[in-house]
Amino acid sequence: MEQKAREQVLRLLTVRSRSRRELYLRLKQKGHPDSLIGPLLDRLTETGLIDDARFAAERARALGLSKGWGPRKLTADLRAKGVNADLVQAAIDEVYAETPQVEILRRVAEKKFGAALFEAEVEVDFKLKGRAQRFLLGRGFDGELVRDLLQGC
């Protein structure tokens, strides 16, 4: 039974990196007892196959940079995956140290609403600004940062 659980974990990890909590829930769902799951996950953590810090960093980077998620949405996602709050914060700080939040925010807004949103010569429709603001807040960015970005429009 332990061999089967180990194979399931390794198969899951070949698809993508996962948090310890995710793996625990998947094994539990498959009917494996806690007495088997805990020691198995401990061994895989010791060998480095399971690493919540690495998982959080990879996921925060992927979702923050490629999908344009803000810190609030990233935090909610990583916490839902069972990652410790300290590791979540470290991963998010790392993403925004690499690429400033305002740069990501502007890129996301331009992609969704066009560069015309930021052109000073063009009178921007207030409805468009409102839609942009709601969209960016929904992406998990800070309200003050969104407001500052859109006030310059």
**Mean of all residue pLDDT scores within the chain:** 91
Determine the Cα–Cα distance for residues 44 and 151; give it in Å rounded to an integer. Answer: 50
Q: What pLDDT, on a 0 to 100 scale, did the predictor assign at position 34?
A: 92
Q: Residue 153 pLDDT more than 60?
A: no
Q: How confident is the model at residue 150 (pLDDT cuts 50, 70, 90)?
A: confident
**What's the gap between Cα 85 and its chain centre?**
13
* Strand, coil or helix: 82: coil
CATH number corresponding to 52-97: 1.10.10
Amino acid letter, 152: G
* CATH class held by domain 101-151: mainly alpha
Nearest to 85 by CA among 13, 9, 21, 17: 21
Say what the pTM is.
0.85
CATH fold match for the domains 52-97 and 101-151: yes
